[in-house]
Amino acid sequence: MQMNVSLLEKFLFYSQHGGTWSKWPFGPGFTGGWLVAISKFAFIGLVLALILFLLRWLFGPGGKMRSPELDENSDRQGIEIEPALEILQKRLARGEISEQEFQDKKRLIRND
């Protein structure tokens, strides 16, 4: 005879009899003393740091799984500002715009 136990029944059983969350590192914080409590926090911090490092390595700038277009756009933004400033400087030198207008447009280009 085979017994079918639902997930709800399993959850209720574990929650009443010291379920899975009572095990290390998620159990009561100070049961084993300060050293055990600190080691629990250090372990959790290490796991989170490893996850963050892995995500940064995979999807960060130049990452293995990052779309190349994202890196191209950030490179292009720095390049486009310089020609705009050169054009403004040439217009200022030719007398097409005033010094105040030059400063205003320069501030707009650089988003200051």
The residue type at 84: A
Classify 111 as helix, strand or coil: coil
Output the six-digit token pair for 47: 């796991």
pTM of the model: 0.43
What is the structure's pLDDT at 1? 45
What is the structure's pLDDT at 27? 61
What is the structure's pLDDT at 81? 60
Domains of the chain: which residue ranges? 7-59, 68-110
**Whole-angstrom distance, CA of residue 102 vs CA of residue 92:** 7
| Mean pLDDT of all residues in 88-95 | 88
Query: Among candidates 60, 102, 62, 63, which has minimal Cα distance to 85?
Result: 102
Quick one: CA torsion of 56, 62, 67, 68, rounded to 10 degrees? 170
- The phi, psi pair for 11, rounded to 5°, reads -60, -45
CA-based radius of gyration for the chain: 30
What are 21-75's pLDDT values in tens digits?
A: 555 555 655 666 777 778 888 988 999 999 999 999 998 888 888 877 777 765 5
DSSP state of 1: -
Q: Is the pLDDT of residue 102 over 70?
A: yes
Instruction: Answer left, alpha or beta for residue 95, where phi above 0 means left and psi between -120 and 50 means alpha.
Output: left
What is the structure's pLDDT at 74? 55
